[in-house]
Each structure stands twice: as C-alpha cells, then as structure tokens.
Amino acid sequence: MRRRVLGTALPLLALVPLLFVLDRAVNHDDVLFLRAAAQIRLTPARPYATTINWFGWTEPLWGATKNPPGVPYWLAAVQALGGTSERAWHLALLPFAVASALAGARLARRFAPGSVWVTVAWVASPAFLVSA
C-alpha cells in the first residue's frame, strides 16, 4: 500500500515545477489552439473555419493544424469563463499533465513493478515539462 501511494505521489510531486512557469508566454503551436478556441467561441460547430498566417501566407486553419479540436473546445470554455491570460490557459491544461503523470505511474507499475523512479524520471524530463 505504501509503495502504491509513493508511486502516485512522487509523479505528482514532479509536476511542481510546472506551477512556477504558469506565466510563460504562448509559444510554438499554442497559437493554433488559441486561434481555434477563439473561433469556437464564434461558431462552435465550425472550430477550424478561420484563417491563420502560419507558414508565411494566409491559409485556412484546418490546413495549418492537424490536431482534433478537443483542447481548443476546452480552452474556449476557459476563455468564456474569463480566463484570457497565459496563466489561466496554462492552469487549465494542468489537469491533462496530472492525468498523464498518473497514467505514466500506472504503466510503470505494470511494466516495471517496484520502480517508482521510472515515472519520476519521465515526468521530470525536459520533454515532458516543455510539453505540459
């Protein structure tokens, strides 16, 4: 039982650095998600019915992004509730990072029993922290 609690608590503890970078600027493909979220607030049934200058020319948003609209719908709800700052957007995406950490802990328990540090190393890795 203690090992299971430790296996869940340590990965969540590894997410603490994310709390210090909630004010980071919007970067990389965040713009695509936020543009789709703004479009969803205008016409919810057509999330990609707008244009964006992504590759140096104006094109339909559906041509620039290949992601499903789940996260933009989530961000549109956050924006509708008044969360229009970078902090609000990053905070709104934190539950996904927590879910990912817990899923990673479960996978580690299955494939590397007794090795809590596998999950901690994954969640504390730069690749995870930059993406979260």
Q: What is the mean pLDDT of the chain?
A: 86
The CB density around residue 33, as the number of other CB atoms within 10 Å, is 20
pLDDT one-digit tens code per residue, 21-33:
888 888 888 999 9
pLDDT one-digit tens code per residue, 72-114:
999 999 999 988 888 999 889 888 888 888 888 888 888 887 7
- Give the residue numbers spanning the domain of 63: 2-131
* Residue-level pLDDT at 109: 83
Number of structural domains, the chain?
1
pLDDT band for 6, please (50, 70, 90 cuts). Answer: low
Model confidence at 14: pLDDT above 80 = no
65 with 36: CB under 8 angstroms? yes
Cα 105 from Cα 28, distance rounded (Å) = 28
